[in-house]
Every structure is written in structure tokens, then in C-alpha cells.
Amino acid sequence: MGLGISTKSFECTIDGALAHIVLDQPARGNPIDGDFCREFGLAIAELSERADVRAVLLSARGRLFSVGGDLMALVKQSDALPATIKAWTADLHVALARMVRMRAPVVAAVHGNVAGGSVSLMAAADLVVMAESAKISAAFSRIGFSPDSGSTTTVTRRIGVARARRFFLLGETLDAAAALSLGLVDFVVPDAAVQTEAARLAREFAAGPTEAFGAIKRLFSQTADQSFESQLEEEAQTLAAISRTADAREGVRAFLEKRKPVFSGR
């Protein structure tokens, strides 16, 4: 089973409540271009509304995870470049905003190099599993550009304002150990294990209490913008709503009966 739309920049399969998006332009380095932005926007719009999707795994084929923006396509735009950037980001930015807000947790499996806008795509995932030989590059300032794709938010939420600013100003490249120590990624594993470990985590999410996961994601996405008192009330209101779900009732019953809960995602 797959999406209700056809795509050429990535593949998406849905199996056992897990949606697996695989970037699939390896010969080009899996770039972010107009097709990807449009297709990714449509895919996330669909996945975020599907009751049968309870987790998302994001990975890539080929030597690289993604080179980021398609510079060859951008160069060809000449004076039309600003309008092209606005068109691409209109699709991509909405997709990322919906991805971080969707109830299904997103796990990214990262190998090779990750650069430019794809760093934000990676950082927007709820959990990032990185191959020990992989590298993450802030490429924008090195070509005279500023960040997009939510980079100044998604990366900052993971590593803090000052460190994110340094990362982008200096156009740094981080190896896996540095990315892990900063919190830019969550797990570093041997290269051969990155897909397996990311898939394992995604399958665990797909079998979990989906509404609770969605509530956790929403609460953490807004905590920096709320006063402490406001966030306390948000937590109370959210917990009250979640306590009405079938999975919350199942979780409590399973705890009292000393068994493993069986969650339905409702």
C-alpha cells in the first residue's frame, strides 16, 4: 500500500501502520527541488490525516542522504530565482510545519552527507538515527545564502540559539560524534545498522499510543513560546483530553493487570 498520489522524487510505502518515505534520486544526491517540495507537501498532507499511519520512517537511497537544495536548478533561474525560492518554500515549509505537528512520530535514518535544507528535514524528525561515518553540513553561508526549510528553528530547538548560529555562520561540518554530543541527532550506530535501528524505533512507535505521542509532540513544539503558567495549563488540558482515549484506558488496565498494553492508536 502507498500514497494516493504518484511521486518521482521519493517512494512511500505503508505497512503495518508505518509509512516509509525513501528519498529516491540517488544519482542526483537526493536534492530538494520543485518536484520534491510539491510532492513532499502532498505526501505529508495525506499521511497526517490517515488513521492507518501511526509512525513515519524517513530514509534515502544512494551514497548520500541529501545534498540539500538543487543548486544546478537554482542557477538556471537567473533573475527568476527569488520567485522560484518562494514557490519551492511555499510547499516545503507547509509540509515541515505539518510534519512536526502530525500525531505520528517521525524517525529519520541518516547516512552519508546531509547538507543545506535537508539538515532541517532531518532535525525536524522526532528521533534521528545517524550512521557513524555520516556528516552534517551547514552549507548556506558558504554559497552566500541564508538558511531556509525551518533550519533556524529545527536546529535551534535541538542545539540552542548560540550553537546553531555558529553552525550556520561558519558553515560548519559536524561528524556523527559531534552531532550526537550537541543533541542534533539522537543515536549514532554503525553504518550497517542505521536502517535497521531506525526501522526498529519506527515500528515501536507504530505500535504505540499514537494520540499520546501526538500530544507530547505538540506540547514540546510550543514550550519555548509559552509562559510557565500557560504551559502548565496546556499540559493539564492535554492530559485530560488524552485520558479519554482508548489507549489511555488500555494503558492503565494493562498496568493494573501486569501485562503489556496493546495500543490501537485511538
**What residues form DSSP beta bridges with 121?**
none
pLDDT at 6: 86
Average predicted confidence (pLDDT) for the chain:
94
Query: For residue 112, which of 86, 135, 146, 82 has the smallest C-alpha distance?
Result: 135
Check pLDDT > 90 for residue 80. no
Q: For position 85, what pLDDT does the model report?
A: 87
Minimum mean pLDDT range among 80-89, 130-139, 186-195, 231-240 = 80-89
Q: 152 pLDDT band (50/70/90 cuts)?
A: very high
> Is the confidence at residue 186, as pLDDT, over 80?
yes
Inform me whether the pLDDT recorded for 75 exceeds 80.
no
- Phi, then psi, of 23 in degrees rounded to 5: -60, 130
* Strand (E) or helix (H) holding 246: helix 246-256
Q: For residues 145 and 102, give the distance between their C-alpha atoms in angstroms, rounded to a whole number.
A: 30
248 vs 226: CA distance, rounded Å: 26
* Bridge pairing between strands 135-137 and 173-175: antiparallel
Per-residue pLDDT, 2: 76
- pLDDT given for residue 224 in this prediction: 85
Residue 1 pLDDT more than 80? no
In percent, how much of the chain has pLDDT > 70? Answer: 100
Model confidence at 74: pLDDT above 80: no
232-256 confidence digits (pLDDT tens): 999 999 999 999 999 999 999 999 9
- Label the pairing between strands 55-60 and 18-23: parallel
| Residue tagged 524517513 (cell numbers) | 58
Over range 132-153, report the average pLDDT.
Answer: 93
* Phi, psi torsion values for 242, nearest 5 degrees: -65, -30
How far is the C-alpha of 77 from the C-alpha of 81, rounded, in Å?
5
Q: What is the pLDDT of residue 15?
A: 93
Judging by DSSP bridges, how do beta strands 106-110 and 113-115 pair with one another? unpaired
> CA 67, CA 29: separation in Å to the nearest integer?
6
Lowest mean pLDDT among 15-19, 46-50, 75-79, 87-91: 75-79
Sequence-ordered list of residues with C-beta below 8 angstroms from that of 226, at least 6 positions apart, any chain: 234
Rounded Cα distance, 13 and 16, in Å: 10
- Say what the pLDDT of residue 258 is: 94
pLDDT-based confidence at residue 44 (cuts at 50, 70, 90): very high
Total number of residues shown for the chain: 266
Euclidean distance between CA atoms 102 and 94, whole angstroms = 12
pLDDT level of residue 71 (50, 70, 90 thresholds)? confident
Quote the pTM value: 0.93
